[in-house]
Amino acid sequence: RRVGIVGLGTGTLAAYARPGDHYTFYELDPLVLVAAESSFTYMSACRGRCDVVLGDARLSLEREPPQRFDVLILDAFSGDAIPVHLLTREAFRLYFRHLKPEGVLAFHITNRYLDLAPVVAAACEPLGKSVRLVRSEADPRGAEDALWALVTGGPPLSRMRFRPWTDDYSNLLSILRR
- Catalytically active residues are 75
> Integer distance in angstroms from the first to the last C-alpha of the chain?
39
Q: Is residue 105 a contact partner of residue 96, using CB atoms and an 8 Å limit?
A: yes
Q: 31 and 11 in contact (C-beta within 8 Å)?
A: no
Identify the three-state secondary structure at position 112.
Answer: coil
Q: 3-state DSSP call for residue 57?
A: helix
Question: Do 86 and 76 contact (CB within 8 A), yes or no?
Answer: yes
Phi and psi torsions of 105, nearest 5°: -100, 120
Amino acid (1-letter code) at residue 69: F
CA Rg, the chain, in Å? 16
